[in-house]
Structure 1
């Protein structure tokens, strides 16, 4: 395993653990408020998870790049990884539609296992780089082609998504880092944030009579529905929290990561100086984001410019504290658990959703109505786990923590074997 910045791996691990908890409650109707996203404007701890991960993506680009040289092989590697991450994000949309082919029970479970295995081999395996690119490009073309073919059941597959946004930010940030100086990167980031603010607050939304930041009627929602009708977030159908326009300020989050990575990689600064710069930068970003929110509200779904600064500032403060404790003071004996989570994030991202969908292909007898069958996960939660708790929020949290425990066993085993899976 290559030498890594332990504090960054720990932060990534903490982020992945929190992501697993907030994304997998037993019952969405009973969740403690800090573990939910803000309804619209505002910011909860849950809202900080995704921007923290994107910031880490930018930092990792710098730390993992030995030299700034954009040649053919490097470009192919970047594009291949972008396509692989994007395809992993879109895969779940195709995966869940297998039941629409009339498959059920053991046949559905077998089909899902086979398809998942094929995708895993194609997108996680480390083989010849040329074939990695060809395979990733081929899978991407097939998925996009099916999505826009009008063929049911693929004509409503969601195209934007969390992994898809990570892929786009990774691509743009990588190219920027390899071709520009940190000053140019800072200027591009500032232009994106200021430009997004201007576009969202000054340009009238067709059909509304003016600019608005309200849910479903803002310019970002209008553009999503114009360009990707039928391929958006299932919960809204007419807009997407990882949509097209809001990806621009998300790139700003990735650029902020590039600047932090450049600071961490600087050989002219001591570790204590780096901590001071990160603490100062984090506090300044939180303050600036809060002040900006007075005219451009904090909003994770819109990824507002104020949210970029505010969320990025908190992430930077957390990294500064971890860097001080681990890399400056050398207190690292406690970190193995979190590093195990931090070095294999894509495994957790991809397989968490797959685990529940595979388990739910198994049907069990409903204890209340013996003539009916129910999915395995809801059965386990409703009839085995929930009755153990008096507060339904505790039961809901317990299922998420059980998943964290399961993943911990898997990830610690991989870490001890020094197995790191990258796409």
Structure 2
């Protein structure tokens, strides 16, 4: 781990820690504003989590591929990782839909956990690369058949998702990096953002009318509902925050990471790299804010202004971390962030499984023993919340306790030098 760019691991760790907190409050009805996504237009700290991770995906693509060779072996590696990422994300959407026969209760939960164990071995396992490719492709094919076949249990399973978008961005930016120069990557990034703006701002929405940036009546929502009817985000049902068209500007976020990676691996001095990251970050913030006047900053739409603003903030934060940690060699107190930063996929995947498992374990309510509640509700309502007078503080405490549990698990992996990659 000594040869790693520690500032990047710390930034990744910060991102994963923030993700863990915002995705796991004790009570969704009582959450501090900065730990929620913006209602629609606008930006909160929570809205920076996902783009920062995609930005890091771009940087790690450069760091992990010092020799730009695009051949059959490289393509196989890229496709395997893409399929593993995508299939893991899709399985998360399937987990609560798994329903063999008339099973329920503990028996059903055990079956779902058994399927999860198989998926973990198949998609996290380190074995023959070609076999990995076929296994991932096979599992993905089965899931898609279930989703699009005549199976009532899976008729409304969501197909887009966070890991699915990460997979798509990873594949595109990796191919772009291996087949083009830094200048070409920058040009493609600009074109992608301008193209998305033009599509969203200038093209009328079929069946609705003029172009719009409002919820559910924009071009991205129309395309989601046209191509994936019934398989979208359960909250909206007619559009998806990780939908099809908005993946285009998300590629721009990954390209921003490619450009940052090119700077970090250049022969420039640490001082020049720091200044370069800061200058690019400040420029991104300014242009993003100005563009936001006509193309609102919006995470759900992943607007081009949002791409620039979020990437700009990530660049400034990375510049500070790089200067302090990798340039000035100040590495005290970074261990908690490293622990989370070197094993992000474990947290990503299992944070989607654990709450569902806890809710699937039923226990009697202490207040009314005849009432059966989920274990997660029991732990929060009766073991955490009673110790706080402010429900928002109780909810935050629940999230922080969950974070500490993850720290214990990841610290064990860190000490044992166990890094789980997809």
**By the TM > 0.5 criterion, same fold?**
yes
- 1:79 pairs with 2:79: yes
What does residue range 20-99 of structure 1 map to in structure 2 within 5 Å? 20-99=20-99
2: CA distance, partners of 1:284 / 1:243: 28
User: How big is each residue's C-alpha offset from its partner over 1:238-295, in whole Å with a ceiling of 9 and x where there is no partner?
Assistant: 000000000000000000100000000002x001100000011101100000000000
Name 1:117's counterpart in structure 2. Answer: 117
Say if 1:365 and 1:371, in contact at 8 Å, map to a contact too.
yes
Structure 1 counterpart of 2:103: 103
Q: CA RMSD in A?
A: 1.0
Instruction: Output aligned runs, 1:7-406, within 5 Å.
Output: 7-99=7-99, 101-267=101-267, 269-406=268-405
- Count matched residues: 422
Contact map agreement 2:189 2:256 (CA 8 A) in 1: yes
TM-score by length of 1: 0.98
Change (3 A) 1:332 1:2: closer
For structure 2, which runs of at least 5 residues remain unmatched after alignment? Answer: none
Contact 2:99 2:153 in 1 (8 A): no
Which consecutive unaligned segments of at least 5 residues does structure 1 have? none
SS of equivalent residue, structure 2 residue 31: coil
Of residues 199-208 and 376-385 in structure 1, the stretch that sits farther from structure 2 once superposed is 376-385
Q: CA deviation at 1:209?
A: 1.6
Task: Give 3-state SS (helix, strand or coil) of 1:97's partner.
Answer: coil
1:8 alignment partner, SS class: helix
Q: Deviations over 1:67-100 (max 9, x none)?
A: 0001111100100000000011011222101357
**C-alpha deviation, 1:106, in angstroms:** 2.2
Distance 1:98 1:159 in 2: 15
- 1:410 and 1:367 map into 2 onto residues whose CA distance is 30
CA distance in 1, matches of 2:322, 2:76: 33
- Secondary structure (helix, strand or coil) at the match of 1:364 reads strand
Could you tell me the TM-score, scaled by structure 2's length?
Answer: 0.98
* Contact 1:104/1:361 (8 A) holds in 2: no
Task: Judge conservation of contact 2:201–2:212 (CA < 8 Å) in 1.
Answer: yes
SS of alignment partner, residue 374 of structure 1: strand
Are 1:100 and 1:153, in contact at CA under 8 Å, matched by a contact in 2? no
CA–CA distance in 1 between the matches of 2:287 and 2:264?
A: 22
Distance in 2 separating the partners of 1:111 and 1:5: 41
